[in-house]
Amino acid sequence: MQYSSQAVAKPYFIAAIGLFVGQILFGLIMGLQYVVGDFLFPAIPFNIARMVHTNLLIVWILFGFMGAAYYLIPEEAEKELHSPLLAIALFWIFLIAGVLTILGYLLMSYAKLAAFTGNSFLPTMGREFLEQPTITKVGIVIVVLGFIYNIGMTVLQGRKTVVNLVLMTGLIGLAVMFLFSFYNPSNLVLDKYYWWWVVHLWVEGVWELILGSILAFVLIKVTGVDREVIEKWLYVIIAMALITGIIGTGHHYYWIGTPEYWQWWGSVFSALEPLPFFLMTVFAFNMVNRRRREHPNKAATLWALGTAVMAFLGAGVWGFLHTLAPINYYTHGTQITAAHGHMSFFGAYAMIVLTIISYAMPLLRGRAANSNKAQVLEMWSFWLMTISMVFITLFLTAAGILQVYLQRATDTPLAFMAVQEKVALFYWLREISGLIFFIGLVIYLISFFVTGEQKSAVPAGATATN
């Protein structure tokens, strides 16, 4: 750790991991409810478990992004963070607001929560992934504005690099797109049209910039490859991500009442969306093969390579499988979508947060890398979580294919719930894979507490030239 203010990243990383655990627990509950419908009912109904599962996913990744920014921006800008005090204050505001929101979901009905939080004054609730009470959304805007101000001032007063400028662009884009969550028109077509400006342009737009910049930062540090080489790759990747991702929003507009031309625009540009992820995979392996140093943190390097591969498979390959309009006509909203969502969120965004945590946490604790024993445990957790996620995706894909056939492609289609019974075997297999994923996560947590021979701290300034 070169700058003392980088320490503010630590509580963000700890909160991210804690919320990640909560997300997986609710995922297991929800997965079991697919096959045991009254499990934990009425204490935790399916719709609440799903809402908590998806909301925790978004919040813990945001905590991870913020922690990553607080860690890497001072090092890239070569100066202390503008205001560490503001960063800590915003952390507690965000965490308390997030916990209160989750408790609200669990302790009262959604309608009562809407009334209690004054949703009638500015209705924004009731939409998938954006279920947060309006007052929580206002709190998020305040936190993000303070966050952008803090890291923005740090960048403005320090060194400007491609990495920190791309990261800033992604974070500002994230903040701007979130403002559309406050626009809630009564026209359903308009509602869905702008809803995707938040959901799609986050995960297939500006979040890819954040992903690319964090990956570039970690690869610069662990490989020692010239910054100029990595920055050129980053330029190409983000250009491809924006060109394909922005117009690729059209693959959500096929069947919501928008003009027919979106079926062409959406199909063509969405088909190109795997390209930036493919380039990212080539980029990561190329940089590691050309490495000029043997960094002692092998686990961080593994997470970085895993991010590139899993992001390409989940967001690229599984996205392409059902992105063309004629195919999407049958697959839209089936378990194939769930398969794509699980692998792409884990591969692209969960893993990049785990990558920066794996790289930065040892440094925040005063050493270049954890002991060999701790790293071996962490790598076991990597493989358990990654392989089980592959199987979760495969089982959901199989369930989706069967669902498409039985419910939409046959001459004698079955009702939705009848089809759910037919694919129950795949839900059980998905649940078993989820349990193995959770075991991997527990091992990941244990690795933080394993001692042994520690790698000495990187001397101050040793990485300053990179």
Residue by residue, pLDDT tens for the chain (466 residues) are 799 999 999 999 999 999 999 999 999 999 999 999 999 999 999 999 999 999 999 999 999 999 999 999 999 999 999 999 999 999 999 999 999 999 999 999 999 999 999 999 999 999 999 999 999 999 999 999 999 999 999 999 999 999 999 999 999 999 999 999 999 999 999 999 999 999 999 999 999 999 999 999 999 999 988 898 998 889 999 999 998 999 999 999 999 999 999 999 999 999 999 999 999 999 999 999 988 888 899 999 999 999 999 999 999 999 999 999 999 999 999 999 999 999 999 999 999 999 999 999 999 999 989 999 999 999 999 999 999 999 999 999 999 999 999 999 999 999 999 999 999 999 999 999 999 999 999 999 999 999 877 666 554 444 434 4
**Percent of the chain at pLDDT exceeding 70:** 97
319-356 pLDDT tens trace:
999 999 999 999 999 999 999 999 999 999 999 999 99
Phi, psi angles (nearest 5°) of residue 455: -75, 135
443 close to 380: Cβ distance less than 8 angstroms: yes
335 close to 273: Cβ distance less than 8 angstroms: no
Count CB neighbours of 52 within 10 A. Answer: 23
69 close to 171: Cβ distance less than 8 angstroms: yes
Return the SS3 of 95: helix
The Cα–Cα gap between 340 and 318 comes to 5
357-415 pLDDT tens trace:
999 999 999 998 999 999 999 999 999 999 999 999 999 999 999 999 999 999 999 99
Phi, psi angles (nearest 5°) of residue 462: -65, -30
81 close to 70: Cβ distance less than 8 angstroms: yes
Cis peptide upstream of residue 42 (ω within 30 degrees of 0): yes
254 close to 182: Cβ distance less than 8 angstroms: no
The Cα–Cα gap between 6 and 133 comes to 32
If we measure between CA atoms, which residue out of 270, 216, 249, 263 comes closest to residue 76?
A: 216
- Token pair for 452: 């042994």
The dihedral through the CA atoms of 151, 156, 160, 166 has a sign that is positive
